[in-house]
Amino acid sequence: MQLTVWTYEGPPHVGAMRIATAMEGLHYVLHAPQGDTYADLLFTMIERRDRRPPVTYTTFQARDLGGDTAGLFQEACRAAYERFRPEAMIVGASCTAELIQDDPGGLATTLGLPIPVIPLELPSYQKKENWGASETFYRLVRALAQPRTAPRAPDARPSCNILGPTALGFRHRDDLAEITRLVTAMGIDINVVAPLGARPTDLVRLGDADFNIVLYPEIADAAARYLEKSFGQPAVRTIPIGVGATRDFIAEVAGLAGVPPLAGDAGSRLPWYSRSVDSTYLTGKRVFIFGDAPHAIAAARVATTELAFDLVGIGTYSREFAREVRTVAATHGIEALITDDYLEVEERIAALRPELILGTQMERHIAKRFGIPCAVISSPVHVQDFPARHSPQMGFEGANVLFDTWVHPLMMGLEEHLLHMFRGDFEFNDRSASHLGATASHPAPVAEAEATPPPAATTLAPALWDTGAEQELRKIPFFVRGKARRNTERFALERGISTITLDTLYDAKAHFGR
């Protein structure tokens, strides 16, 4: 175990909490010491949910370790059933309680509760949050799902299950709304959405659908494979993030459902902008991507094929999907970074020096230290990444959101760069007059040209530019290139430099940037 200040994923019992909190009529009894209730804040403070997670903690203390902690757990199970009357219950232990080996599953089955009780074995010292969510959902599906009760009528509309959205998921609520709209527009009924909003009784009906849509494979892939093996339900695994992937998703869904695919891009503005002259500023921007594997892989496709960015680095903390990320990295001729140590990510970013970072909340902090624009594409996230407005990542509207959140940091970075470059000009400094002119309440300040006397005239001949400096000058945007040339030549004249080299250009930039 490695001690660290920040972590990309919590322990696996937090993943189980995400499933329990997402569902209705399900209760989680967690054998945990006093203090582990901190996890509630992830949902009430970060996700801003209006109620606590449906979790009962045994909250044993140090003095309880010399007594009957097993009896304490059983009493917590009885009390939870009597108080909440859930349709089903999941039971397990946190990382600390795992050490005392009370066997919550075995203890709960001896109580004879009149509801399904599903034990969870979540090895806290080997696995983490996403695996815990996946294992919990898989155990629920395996325990509750039943095969189709009656053959499908020949004239019935095709139906599907949407699997994967959870509580505390990055834009899961909004993604679900967008994908539901797409699927129903194709004439396909949605049988069950799970875990988000589902009840244990809904999981019983999973077998009635013709196929499954796996929106978040880190959560639902194991359950979908079980349903495919047990009930013969095929699964759609294309993640509809970006215009191209959304088109592929629609084609895959239509193929399984036997319906015609939707035509058009439903008003997406990203393809239009990618073809416009304004987008040339974005072409070739060096981008580094890090996050959970499905979002990182999807982001790499959008960045390279739809925005013409140059992918210089990609990585994930999802070790279960390391092979898939390495495959994507290999297609771009780079090496994937598979780690859950944010310091390793920081080192890679420092070495690559990208112009844009697409990552998690952790990379946002790293980007601030390096002064690099950043957009969040994946968990872990903070409260600002759970907006009150509709803000999906998936579907055609999700492509619009991606465009806004990825491009705006670059544009704002350009604006700050220009303000810094022109800050010596009289019309850009704080003491200059507004373009509206002076008024009685806002008199015209002393102009920069008056406040600072112009440099003394020189009789030296204009400096010449060597080839290397001239080529470097061409890399500067055309609308500020003239000013950069004039400033550099002025710098050279004042110092008696007859030929401007790369060193002269950089020295002039440092001089005027002070």
Residues with a known catalytic role: 278
334, 286 contact by CB (below 8 A): no
The C-alpha atoms of residue 308 and residue 91 are separated, in whole angstroms, by 48
Tokens 């982001």 map to which residue?
299
124, 13 contact by CB (below 8 A): yes
Handedness of CA 434, 439, 445, 446 (dihedral sign): positive
- CB atoms under 10 Å from CB of 474, counted, come to 8
205, 177 contact by CB (below 8 A): no
Q: Angle, to 10 degrees, between the axis of helix 129-144 and the axis of helix 12-22?
A: 50
Q: What are phi and psi of 464, to 5 degrees?
A: -95, 150
Q: Widest CA span of the chain, in angstroms?
A: 100
Q: What are phi and psi of 55, to 5 degrees?
A: -130, 130
The C-alpha atoms of residue 497 and residue 500 are separated, in whole angstroms, by 7
92-119 as b/e: b if 16+ CB within 10 A: bbbbbbbeeebbbbebbeeeebeebbbb
For residue 502, give both structure tokens: 């790369």
- Element (DSSP H or E) covering residue 363: helix 361-370
The C-alpha atoms of residue 419 and residue 460 are separated, in whole angstroms, by 31
Handedness of CA 135, 181, 189, 160 (dihedral sign): negative
- CB atoms under 10 Å from CB of 406, counted, come to 24
For residue 325, give both structure tokens: 């990320």
Helix, strand, or coil here: 207?
A: strand
- CB atoms under 10 Å from CB of 7, counted, come to 16
The C-alpha atoms of residue 71 and residue 37 are separated, in whole angstroms, by 20
145, 206 contact by CB (below 8 A): yes
For residue 109, give both structure tokens: 């089955």
For residue 498, give both structure tokens: 């007859």
Beta bridge partners of 33: 60
Cα 101 to Cα 27, 96, 122, 129, distances in angstroms: 22, 10, 12, 21
